[in-house]
Structure formats: structure tokens, C-alpha cells
């Protein structure tokens, strides 16, 4: 195993130990006050962590271009949804894998991941964002 592969495996092992601690850390120490509502935070933060890990695996040559292309398009599709965009605006203030914040900027300012697919009529759950104390807009 190469040094970079060992580093990625070690990072994944550390993250696997940290993830189960989050509920208790928030209960005992509070949470990051970034405005992302708790009812959606537990879904969107792990999503962006996964996206970041996949980005790093591709960047470091552990995920080939062919496999990255399909996975990245799927991840970009979800990241381009309005609620995910708003959450990323808050999450982006935190530390991320080197190069990932720039990649997200390109994804969110670039073309739609699936431009030929009609947008569905899904309405996200109504949640209150801390900075505006009113329900998130339904899209």
C-alpha cells in the first residue's frame, strides 16, 4: 500500500470513529452555529463529507477518471439542489479537503449535472434556518 493510500485509509478510520460521537458531542458541547437546521444537517453534512472524500480519492489517483465521472455527476446533481446549495454556503466556512471548496464552487456555478432531465416536483421538508427564523423556501 502506498503512503497516500495508507493516509486515506487512516483518515477513513478516524472519521468512522468520530461519526458516532457527533450526537453526544452536540448534546454535551453544543453544535456549530452555522444556521443549518438540525432536521437536515444530519443528512447534508455527511453527504458533503462523502463528496469531499470521493473528490480526494479521485484527486489522489485512488479513483480513476471513468469511475469518478459518473459518481461526481450524481453527487453534483444533489449538491445543486437549492437546499443543498444553501447548506453548502454555511458548511463551506469550515475546513474541507484541499481543493474541495474550489471544486464545489465550480459545481455550483457551472452547468447542471443532468441538464436533459426535467426537475421533479419534490418539495423539501419545511425547516427553519437560524439566520432568518422562517421556513426555508420550498422549491
Give the pLDDT score at 133.
55
Compute and round to an integer the Cα radius of gyration of the chain.
16
Cβ atoms of 36 and 132 within 8 Å: the answer is: no
**Residue 119 CB-half CA count within 13 A:** 11
Examine the pLDDT at 139 and tell me if it is beyond 50: no
Report which of 130, 135, 136, 137 is spatially closest to residue 32, judged by C-alpha positions: 130
Q: Is the residue at 54 inside a domain? A: yes
pTM for the structure as a whole: 0.77
Domain of 62, in residue numbers: 44-111
Distance CA 8, CA 5 (A): 5
The C-alpha cell that represents 128 in the structure block? 427553519
What's the average model confidence in pLDDT over 53-70? 92
Q: Decide if 91 is inside a domain.
A: yes
In a domain, 137, yes or no: no
DSSP output for 20-77: GGHHHHHHHH----SS--HHHHHHHHHHHHHHHHHHHHHHTTSS-HHHHHHHHHHHHH
In angstroms, the CA 36 to CA 132 distance is 11
Residue 48 lies in a domain: yes
22 part of a folded domain: no
User: Mind listing the pLDDT tens digit for each residue in 4-46?
Assistant: 778 778 877 887 888 888 788 878 887 777 888 888 888 999 8
Give the count of domains, the chain: 1
Q: Is 132 part of any domain?
A: no
Q: Considering the domain boundaries, does residue 36 fall inside one?
A: no
Report how far residue 53's alpha carbon sits from residue 59's, in angstroms, rounded to the nearest whole number. 10
Has residue 75 been placed in a domain? yes
Q: How far apart are the first and last CA of the chain?
A: 46
Amino acid at each position: 500500500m502506498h503512503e497516500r493510500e495508507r493516509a486515506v485509509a487512516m483518515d477513513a478510520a478516524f472519521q468512522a470513529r468520530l461519526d458516532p460521537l457527533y450526537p453526544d458531542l452536540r448534546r454535551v458541547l453544543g453544535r456549530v452555529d452555522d444556521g443549518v437546521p438540525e432536521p437536515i444537517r444530519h443528512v447534508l453534512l455527511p453527504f458533503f463529507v462523502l463528496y469531499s472524500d470521493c473528490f480526494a480519492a479521485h484527486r489522489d489517483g485512488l479513483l480513476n477518471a471513468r469511475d469518478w465521472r459518473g459518481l461526481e455527476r450524481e453527487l453534483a446533481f444533489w449538491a445543486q439542489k437549492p437546499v443543498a446549495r444553501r447548506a453548502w454556503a454555511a458548511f463551506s466556512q469550515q475546513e474541507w479537503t484541499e481543493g474541495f471548496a474550489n471544486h464545489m464552487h465550480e459545481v455550483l456555478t457551472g452547468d447542471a449535472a443532468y441538464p436533459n432531465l426535467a426537475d421533479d416536483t419534490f418539495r423539501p421538508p419545511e425547516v427553519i434556518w437560524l439566520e432568518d427564523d422562517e421556513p426555508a423556501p420550498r422549491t
